[in-house]
Structure 1
Amino acid sequence: MDLAHGGGNFEQRNVLHPPAVVLIPGLVMSFYVWLVLVTTIPYPGKIGLDYNTLGTDWMVFYGAIRSVLDGNAPLIFDGDRFTDFLNTNFAGWLSKPLEFRPWAYPPSFLLILLPFAPLGFFGSYVAFQVVTGALLAVALRSSAGAVLPSGALLVAALACPASAINAINGQAVFLVAALIVGGFGLLERRPYLGGLVLGLLTFKPQFCILVPIALIAAGQWRALLAAGSSALAMVIASGLIFGWDLWLRWFPLILENLSSPNQKWIEYGRMWGHSVYTCAILLGAPERLASWIQLLATLGAAVSVVIAFRSRLGTREKTAIFLAATVLAAPHSGPYDGTLLVIAAAFWLMARSAPLPLWCWTLAFMIWLMPLLSPPLLFPVARIVPLLPVLLIVLLLRPGVPAVAVRQAPAG
């Protein structure tokens, strides 16, 4: 039985109850960033970062699926024309024109967006956040088990500043987190279903690169086959529904961006994230060296995943390492992806024996807080963000960490 999931004969003593010195500032900071969401439409930038308006990333998603459905699919592969299209169609919603917002996702992402297209921009924006947030809640409740403090886990994940920023931008981190937590949570009991869920991560390629490595390291060959089948099914379905021309256009574009990235994307996209590459550039590294540092970080993340999934760690600890490693390995990530680290930190805390020392809560609070000090381009302190997933991985892998305290429940 997997103690990390707390089977029917076990209960966990460690509950996610932070001390007041951490809880109160955490709640205040969380309230503040959700207040930024409420005030962004009438007063963008008045009490925090100027996000322009709500749903600027969702404009890219919604604009892409509407363009394809309206018979103008080639538009989404021209970053400048597509940005002009967004600025024209959402002029009444934007407080100022967008600088550069290209579509860089595979056509399979359009399958996920398709059910939301008939709802209009605002309706689809709200519905996507609600539906994906609900999926994450289901995945987290399942990972917590019947006897664990799932309520505290849900609050930690869904109320954190990173999740508020995800809602402000209209991003998809709730869905990414739900697929990772849900997929790995199913592996031991239902490997085929777990693999099918993990294969859906290919809608955002930067978050699926470590999936086959984890499954191979764990010897989960059935899940690996299912993940490949799931990814292939998305390719075939998107080709049949939207036309194969989308894939024929997307592959050369991605290869071109890998070998010679669009400088506008680097300036207006990648440099506003907090990947290892971005932080290395902002710390003074030349572009080529920063690319090598990012590659080394990706390789290190892959090694940590191999070690974790070949070990006897519980499912939650392995998932936490995968979440942290995914953020570390991603060539582009934003402050909203901090939700993945918050979940990883919560799983790490749940894996330790009670009572938790203050330094554990302090580290978790730093992970909770960091999205408020992003992006690194504006806040130099945020340039240490890549150290947080590294520290989490080391703490989860190091030998001699106290295991979660469990005891056998009385029979009957």
Structure 2
Amino acid sequence: MADASKFSQLRDAHWLDAKSVRFWALMLLLVDLFPIIFRLLTGDGLIDRNGMPFGGDYISFFAASRLALSGHAADAWRPELHHAAETAVFSRDLGYWAFFYPPPYLLLCLPLGLVSYGWSAVIALGTTTGLMLAIVRTWLARMMVGVKADGARAIWLPLIAFPGIWMNIACGQNAALTTAIMAGGCLLLQRAPVASGLVFGLLIIKPQLALALPFVLAASGRWKTFFAAGVSAFALCLAAWLVFGTEGYLAFFANSALARATLDQGFVDAAKMQSLFGALKTLGLPNVVAYVAQILLAGIVLARAGWIAVRLRPDALAFGALLASASLLVSPFLLDYDLLMIVLPLGWLILTGVREGFRPYEKLLCIWIFLLPAVARGLAEIVHVPLGALSVCLLFWLVQGRMAKTADMNMSAVLKPST
């Protein structure tokens, strides 16, 4: 009997109520902040004790901005010259952080080099994180209609404590911006489809995260959004060409060979990669096997997401959860900080569970996925178990399963005879 009781506690997790969520979220927030504060206090100014600059990858964006502002934008895609610009930031060689982003992203990076490195990093990371939090808060607030006040209040602290936010800040990356774009496009989808597409088109700055977008939009028949996204992406590319010229694009395409080699030859630590491709590389499988498996997974995910979009006609927020989880599975180049985007499908999943009731073990699975950005790389490095891709697959499975269940519940309510 005691064993059955323990089994029930794991299955239903009734102990995970609003009060306990707030407590553990506060503890997690302190854990999130500790390594960032420790690195700043024990380092040499903005360089930590391991010789890494504050914000890590951010130095790549800052150096690219400085090159563009000096009239040498194309040099951002010339590794030797870009490396020299990074070295000039702290007057010492700290290593090399490549710049593989397309010209539209450099357009957004232009203002970064107008101030000193430290202020630039604080302003850029603070602004994009604040924007993401504001948009995601609006996203979650729309789902809280009908949720008890205690349950609604409990969501804000976990949002701020979400490890993906602090992972992105520690890495000096742009996942907060791409998450804000994805969430913003979904929020506008129902009421302003053209504006939604214009926002979605901004994902051209990181096109590997937009691979699922045209397929799912087309499958759902959201043609206004589909074409508006194309116009927006084209306009941003055109603006980048007007600013950086043909030379910038030629340098970008010439640098693509290095980007491909980075993926194929393991220049990026496989443990840091969270795609199926990265998972299979971590296990030591050859590139051809990893690519074939990634393509098969992408095909399955796109087919399933398209089927759901056509048959179940999800609302804008459910559509966003589906799109975000699918987008994270389709790309072979997905790093741990990109997992910040799981906040959208995970938030939808949790709040839908609060409203409709959680399925067996769903709470525990949500806890695991919530912690994923903090533990995925470490587990891959220490025990060589690439759980990132498996966990994102699990998230997609939970989202599509919840949508199917909700659709069945709604249909049952419609067909139920009146009394």
Question: What TM-score do the two structures reach when normalised by structure 1?
Answer: 0.83
Instruction: Tell me the equivalent position of 2:375.
Output: 373
Residue 392 of structure 1, aligned match among 391, 395, 400: 395
Q: CA deviation at 1:80?
A: 4.5
On the 8 A contact 1:351/1:404 being kept in 2, the answer is: no
Pairs aligned (count)? 382
What's the counterpart of residue 110 of structure 2?
Answer: 114
Correspondence for 1:350: 351
Conservation of the 8 A alpha-carbon contact between 1:206 and 1:330: yes
Contact kept, 8 Å, 1:77 with 1:103, in 2: the verdict is: yes
Structure 1 counterpart of 2:417 = none
Residue of structure 1 in register with 2:131 after alignment? 135
Describe the SS at the equivalent of 1:102: coil
Asked if structure 2 preserves the Cα contact closer than 8 Å seen for 1:26 and 1:368, the reply is no
Q: 1:43 is matched by which residue type in structure 2? A: T
Match of 1:195 in 2: 197
- Are the equivalent residues in 1 in contact too, given 2:103–2:237 (CA < 8 A)? yes
Change (3 A) 1:49 1:283: farther
Deviation at 1:162, TM superposition (A): 1.4
1:245 aligned onto 2:247: yes
Which residue pairs with 2:40 in the alignment? 41
Change (3 A) 1:357 1:308: closer
Residues 294 and 330 in structure 2, CA contact (< 8 A), matched pair in contact too: yes
Name the residue aligned to 1:290.
290
1:177 aligns with 2:176: no
Shift of 1:370: 2.0
> How far apart are the structure 2 equivalents of 1:384 and 1:393?
14
Shift in alpha-carbon separation, 1:187–1:266, aligned structure 2, 3 A: same
Q: Which SS does the other structure have where 2:290 is aligned?
A: helix
Query: Partners in 1 of 2:213 and 2:49 — Cα distance?
Result: 34
Structure 1 residue 206: deviation in Å?
0.9
Give the structure 2 partner of residue 55 of structure 1. Answer: 55
Q: CA RMSD in A?
A: 3.1
The answer to whether the Cα contact below 8 Å between 2:186 and 2:196 also exists between their aligned partners in 1 is yes
For the structure 1 residues 163 and 344, does the alpha-carbon distance in structure 2 shift closer, same or farther, using more than 3 Å as the test? Answer: same
% identical aligned pairs: 23
Q: Distance in 2 between matches of 1:154 and 1:265?
A: 41
SS in 2 for 1:386: helix
1:314 matched to 2:328: no
CA distance in 2, matches of 1:380, 1:330: 24
Which residues in structure 2 correspond to 1:80-119 (within 5 Å)?
Answer: 80-91=80-91, 97-98=94-95, 100-119=96-115
Q: Which has the higher contact order (CA 8 A, sep 6+)?
A: 1
**Does the CA contact (< 8 Å) of 2:25 and 2:157 recur in 1?**
no
2-structure distance, mates of 1:49, 1:348: 40
Q: What do the CA deviations read for 1:182-230 (whole angstroms, capped 9, x no partner)?
A: 1022111101100000000010111111111121112111111111111
The 3 A distance-change label for structure 1 pair 49 and 290 is: farther
| Alpha-carbon separation, structure 2, partners of 1:84 and 1:184 | 40
Instruction: Note the C-alpha offset of 1:349.
Output: 1.6
State the secondary structure of the residue aligned to 1:267. Answer: coil
- Residues 143-158 of structure 1: pairs in structure 2 closer than 5 A: 143-145=139-141, 148=145, 152-158=154-160
Compared CA separation, residues 343 and 264, structure 1 to 2 (3 A): same
CA distance in 2, matches of 1:162, 1:51: 23
Q: How does 1:204-223 map to 2 (within 5 A)?
A: 204-223=206-225
1:325 alignment counterpart = 326
Partner of 2:340: 339
Q: Per the alignment, do residues 329 and 139 of structure 1 end up closer, same or farther by CA in structure 2, a change over 3 Å counting?
A: same
Distance 2:197 2:336 in 1: 28
1:7 — aligned with what?
none
Q: Hey, what's the Cα distance between the residues in 2 that align with 1:263 and 1:354?
A: 42
**Alpha-carbon separation, structure 1, partners of 2:156 and 2:289:** 39
The one-letter amino acid of 1:249's match is A
Q: Report the equivalent of 2:29.
A: 30
Distance 1:104 1:265 in 2: 16
Distance 2:161 2:61 in 1: 24
How far apart, in 1, do the equivalents of 2:282 and 2:77 lie? 29
Segment of structure 1 superposing worse, 357-366 or 170-179: 357-366
Separation in structure 1 between the aligned mates of residue 385 and residue 318 of structure 2, nearest angstrom: 26
Structure 1 stretches lacking a partner, 5+ long: 1-16, 408-412
Aligned to 2:405: 401
Secondary structure in 1 matching 2:386? helix
Superposition deviation, residue 167 in structure 1: 0.8
How far, CA to CA, are the matches of 2:77 and 2:27 in structure 1? 42
What residue in structure 2 maps to residue 5 of structure 1?
none
Q: Is the 8 A contact 2:241 2:249 kept in 1?
A: yes
Q: Secondary structure at the match of 2:261?
A: coil
Distance 1:132 1:317 in 2: 24
Alignment pair present for 1:79 and 2:79: yes
Can you give the 5+ residue segments of structure 2 that lack an aligned partner in the other structure? Answer: 1-15, 414-419
- The two structures have a TM-score, normalised by structure 2, of 0.81
Query: What is the aligned partner in structure 2 of residue 13 from structure 1?
Result: none
Which AA in structure 2 matches 1:140? V
- Distance in 1 of aligned mates of 2:203 and 2:390: 25
Question: Following superposition of structure 1 onto structure 2, how do residues 159-178 of structure 1 map, counting pairs within 5 Å?
Answer: 159-178=161-180
